[in-house]
Amino acid sequence: MEDKIIVKTKYFKLNKPIKLECQKELSDIEVAYETYGELNEAGDNAILILHALTADAHAAHYHSKDDKKPGWWDTMIGDNKAFDTKKYFVICSNILGGCKGTTGPSSINPNTGKPYALDFPVITIEDMIKVQKELIDFLGVKKMIVVGGSMGGMQALEWSISHPDLVKSTIIIACAPRLSAQGIAFNAVARNAIISDKNFNNGNYYEGEHPERGLSIARMVGHITYLCEEAMHNKFGRDFKDKPSFDFGVDFQVESYLEYQGRIFVDRFDANSYLYITKAVDYYDPTKKYGSLENAFKNTNSRFLIISFSSDWLFSTEQAKTMVNALVKDNKEVSFVELKSACGHDAFLIEWEKQTKIIESFLKG
């Protein structure tokens, strides 16, 4: 086995406040980010990786030799991988509103010396991009490729629309240009579970018990939407963990899985961040903002690759195709692939081999 490549998360502090979509200003923003590979002199070999709901800046390699797991998309980023660090300067930053090093509701509010909690302004996908833009400028990037899955895809989409001068290629994976009513409904349930937790305390829980039960229920809901019926059936079926308990503990394997996912999530994620980020996803809607998706894409200068997965019901192929159709109407260069997979929405994190082939060919083209 080859030596582990060790990387460090770096931090960038914005030197100006950002005016947010909600019309509030946010200052003292810090951004956690990682880079892999080297930026060329022209500053045009960058790839910006945009992460999904609960991921972070640590997209590839390891933080230490003892790390058991590499970054969340290590299968895709590295020497000779889909995003080849021998050729490209790959950047990934934690989103605004997150809890992995970039300013969010758990950060200290400089005005009070305490965590923002719900005094943190409600942020949008557009706000995330504004913050990333400062980082990109700081790094000296002149032209770049943007790539993201799920909510990361929404960010990639928004980058292509709002910065046609900067974005030369856009890869949108397992994504829709806006969340469906059903998706909003799931997010509403998740937020309700957090807000109803006895420890939520209107978001001011940082000094006491965190709303762990609520957050774990939110995560359970999420995982149902990340898998699909087929994946659940294949993974768990109706198998009992042990035998019928005839009580209200965990009976079935699928319950055990969800409970485990909920339990490990609360150790790594902040409940307030979950509220803010799901709200940003709910709000995102370039169709509404520009009147139509065709209008939204009109000024883009990017090539597009759009990938969907056959069993993804959170961001379906049908939804992905609305982007393809709009791009075709706009005479933009667009490639579209629906990959067969039984992994549901999670496929964008799992099916790296299939994606690698498609992406390599797109980046060469």
Identity of the residue, 145 or 157, whose beta carbon is nearer to a second copy in the bound complex:
157
The one catalytic residue in 107, 162, 345, 346 is 345
The yes-or-no answer on residue 345 being catalytic is yes
Residue 217 contacts residue 193 (beta carbons within 8 Å): yes
The yes-or-no answer on residue 316 being catalytic is no
Query: Least distance from C-beta 81 to a second copy, angstroms?
Result: 33
The yes-or-no answer on residue 84 being catalytic is no
Identity of the residue, 205 or 283, whose beta carbon is nearer to a second copy in the bound complex:
283
Query: Least distance from C-beta 322 to a second copy, angstroms?
Result: 13
Identity of the residue, 92 or 221, whose beta carbon is nearer to a second copy in the bound complex:
221
Phi, psi of 48 (to 5 degrees): -100, 120
Q: Taking every pair of C-alpha atoms in the chain, what is the biggest distance, in angstroms?
A: 67
**Among candidates 363, 359, 360, which has minimal Cα distance to 173?**
359
Query: Least distance from C-beta 17 to a second copy, angstroms?
Result: 17
Binding-site ranges for a second copy (CB under 8 A): 22, 118, 121-122, 178-182, 184-186, 188-189, 191-193, 195-198, 213-214, 216-217, 220-221, 224, 227-229, 232-233, 235-238, 244, 246-248, 250-252, 254-255, 258-259, 262, 275, 279, 282-283, 285, 288, 313
Question: Which residues are CB-contacts of 129 (< 8 A; sequence separation ≥ 6)?
Answer: 155, 158, 159, 162, 163
Residue 216 contacts residue 330 (beta carbons within 8 Å): no
Query: Least distance from C-beta 158 to a second copy, angstroms?
Result: 16
Query: Least distance from C-beta 264 to a second copy, angstroms?
Result: 15
110: Cα within 13 Å, side-chain hemisphere = 7
* 359/147 Cα distance (integer angstroms): 10
Q: How many other CB atoms are there within 10 angstroms of residue 209's CB atom?
A: 12
Query: Least distance from C-beta 253 to a second copy, angstroms?
Result: 8
Name the residues annotated as catalytic: 150, 312, 345
